[in-house]
Amino acid sequence: MKKLPCVVLSLVVLCAISATAQSQNTNSSSSTATANANKPKRGPVFRATADQIKQAQALLKQRSFYAGDETGKLSPETRAGLKQYQTAEGLKVTGTLNKVTLVKMGITLTDKQRLM
């Protein structure tokens, strides 16, 4: 008979601890969601077309910054050549074909890219 109150009390304490832990998990996940909701949305991502990449690879080849084929893909070798080109031209070194780099290379932008 004396064991029954101890068992009941233990169950009540366990339920209380479980409810508290569950409440804390819910609060932390909702605060993370709130923090993400407060971040400004990222705009559209600028992407070079395959033809633009081929043109850039040809130009990089002429300037001896790239020795590979004109594949139209941004390979690690192409990115390395772009970094060298950007350094030589005093541009921000990103290793990507961003709008500024394409314009500096004299490569025509698409209508969508001009608006970005």
Name the residue range of residue 61's domain.
50-115
Q: Answer whether residue 81 is part of any domain.
A: yes
**For residue 6, is it within any domain?**
no
Amino acid at 75: S
Which has the higher per-residue pLDDT, 53 or 25? 53
Is 54 part of any domain? yes
Q: What is the mean pLDDT of the segment spanning 50-67?
A: 97
- pLDDT reported for residue 42: 84
**By the 8 A CB rule, do 69 and 48 touch?**
no
Q: Which of 45, 44, 42, 49 is nearest to 102 (CA)?
A: 49
Question: Looking at the domain assignment, is residue 21 inside a domain?
Answer: no
Q: Rounded CA gap, 49 and 102, in Å?
A: 11
Per-residue pLDDT, 58: 97
Q: With respect to residue 88, please indicate whether it lies within any of the assigned structural domains.
A: yes
Write down the pLDDT at residue 39.
81
In a domain, 40, yes or no: no
- Indicate if the pLDDT at residue 34 is higher than 60: no
Q: Does 76 map to a domain?
A: yes
Q: Under a CB-based contact definition with an 8 Å cutoff, are residues 73 and 47 in contact?
A: no
- Per the structure, how many domains does the chain have? 1
What DSSP element (H or E) covers 29? helix 3-38
pLDDT of residue 10: 72
Burial 85-95 (b: 16+ CB within 10 A, else e): bbeeeebeeeb
Residue 18 lies in a domain: no
pLDDT in tens, 87-97: 999 999 999 99
